[in-house]
Amino acid sequence: MFKRVVDITRFHKNSMEKVNDTILIETPVDIIVNGEPLVNIVCLAKDLKYLGIGFLYSIGIINSFTDIEDLSVDEIDNKIYIQLKKNIEVDLDLLQNNPVSRVIDTSCGISSPWRAIIKKSLDNQNLRYQKNENLNVNAEIISKAVLEMQKSTPLFKETGGCHGAAIFKQTGNLIAVLEDIGRHNAIDKIIGYALSKNIDMSHIFLTTTGRLTGDSVLKAIRANIPILASLSAAIESGVRLAFGYGLTLIGFVRGKKMNIYTHSHRVHV
Catalytic residues: 108
Integer Cα distance of 98 and 259 in angstroms: 36
Beta strands in 34-116 (DSSP E): 36-43, 68-74, 79-84, 103-104
Per the CB < 8 A criterion, the answer to whether 233 and 126 are in contact is no
Residue 138's φ and ψ, nearest 5 degrees, are -70, 140
Report the C-alpha dihedral over residues 123, 128, 134, 136, rounded to 10 degrees.
110
Burial of 138 from C-beta contacts in 10 A (0-12 / 13-18 / 19+): middle
Cα gap 26→37, rounded to integer Å: 20
Of 12, 8, 21, nearest to 158 (Cα)? 21
**Those residues with Cβ within 8 angstroms of residue 147's Cβ, 6 or more apart along the chain or in another chain:** none
60 Rama sector, left if φ>0, alpha if ψ -120 to 50, beta otherwise: left
Instruction: For strands 227-230 and 204-208, give the pairing.
Output: parallel
